[in-house]
Structure 1
Amino acid sequence: MRFLVVFLGVLGLDRLVKYWVQQSLPLNHSLPVIEPVLYWTHIRNKGAAFGFFQGMNDLLMVCAVLVIGGALVYILSRRPRPGIVTALALIAGGAAGNLVDRFLFGGVIDYIDIRIWPVFNLADMAIVAGSLLIVVYAVFCSPEEGRSLWKE
């Protein structure tokens, strides 16, 4: 249940914000939020993070499906701790949000612009947060706890 709530929450919020961006801001335009630190900048990213894999939309869609499927298989085949379920749901929800964009628009809608980093979106933040949560679990558990980290 936790997986489903977090997954759908990330996906739903991501879709809502991207819809607002599409309706409110023309493509390739910026709107200052907190100058000079934060802007809404509507762009279409046809690659992955940092612009890698430009023009490889089909490959990136397959990767997203594999990530979502892998998270589901792992959770259904084992009994991971709640934190790991949350982390995998964040990653899968973010992957699903970007997958929808790739399918509908041929690229990901990015909009959070902090000027010192490539423009990104809520789905990207969920993927990073989930990944960091897994790293934190792995790093800060003793070897005894580490053996039971992934299973209750």
Structure 2
Amino acid sequence: MYILYLLIIAIDQILKKIFVSIYDFSASKVILVKNSGIAFGLFPRNTMIIIGLNFVLLFCLFKFRKHFFQNNLLHKLSLTFILAGGSSNLIDRIFLGYVIDFIKVPFIPVFNIADMAINLGLVFLVLGWINRAKK
């Protein structure tokens, strides 16, 4: 799971660098957003508070992972994806002061690979709970 964790962070960071440094946004429908807030741009310009809250949340998830996430594959995948996505966005906040979002889908706010990982992790978490409840 550690390799998957690092792979998700690497893919997100590499794609962000490519889109920021190489991609010509003027000639496409892809958009670059420097999100200084949290999800959907809420609470902008509170970078230090958001960084602090991210650290606390990621630390708690990691510290209590054995208690909250049982020993099944869906729970392990859930934790890995959520931690990787959160960590990658935290890297942006620490070094840039904002998160780079660049994927635009109709009717959905602009997002990035890390956001996708967090949401996929939440899906795995719910599926794990459903699977466990059926047993």
Q: TM-score, normalised by structure 1?
A: 0.78
The aligned runs of 1:19-98 (5 Å cut-off) are 19-25=17-23, 29=25, 31-32=27-28, 39-75=29-65, 80-98=71-89
8 A contact 2:36–2:44 mirrored in 1: yes
Structure 1: 4+ residue segments shifted above 2 A: 29-32, 74-80, 139-143
Q: Deviations over 1:21-79 (max 9, x none)?
A: 111236xx4553xxxxxx42111001111111111111221222223222321235676
Kindly provide the CA deviation profile for residues 76-135 of structure 1, in whole angstroms up to 9, marking residues without a partner as x: 567632221111010010001110111111100000011321110000000000011101
Number of the residue aligned with 1:124: 115
Residue in 1 that maps onto 2:104 = 113
User: Larger helix proportion, structure 1 or 2?
Assistant: 2
What is the aligned-residue identity percentage? 25
Q: Provide the secondary structure at the position in 2 that maps to 1:40.
A: coil
Aligned position for 1:103: 94
Q: Mark the runs of 5 or more structure 2 residues left unpaired by the alignment.
A: none
Contact map agreement 1:57 1:106 (CA 8 A) in 2? yes
Distance 1:136 1:79, change over 3 A: closer
Q: Is the 8 A contact 1:25 1:42 kept in 2?
A: no
Q: Which has the larger radius of gyration?
A: 1
Aligned residue identity for 2:59:
G
Alignment size in residue pairs: 134
Q: Distance in 1 between matches of 2:46 and 2:101?
A: 17
Gaps of 5+ in 1: 33-38, 146-152
Q: Select 1:138's aligned residue among 121, 124, 129.
A: 129
1-structure distance, mates of 2:52, 2:63: 16
- Paired residue for 1:36? none
Note if contact 2:74-2:127 (Cα within 8 Å) is conserved in structure 1: no
**How high is the TM-score relative to the length of structure 2?**
0.87
Range 122-131 or range 47-56, more displaced: 47-56
Report the Cα distance in structure 2 between the residues aligned to 1:17 and 1:88, rounded to whole angstroms: 22
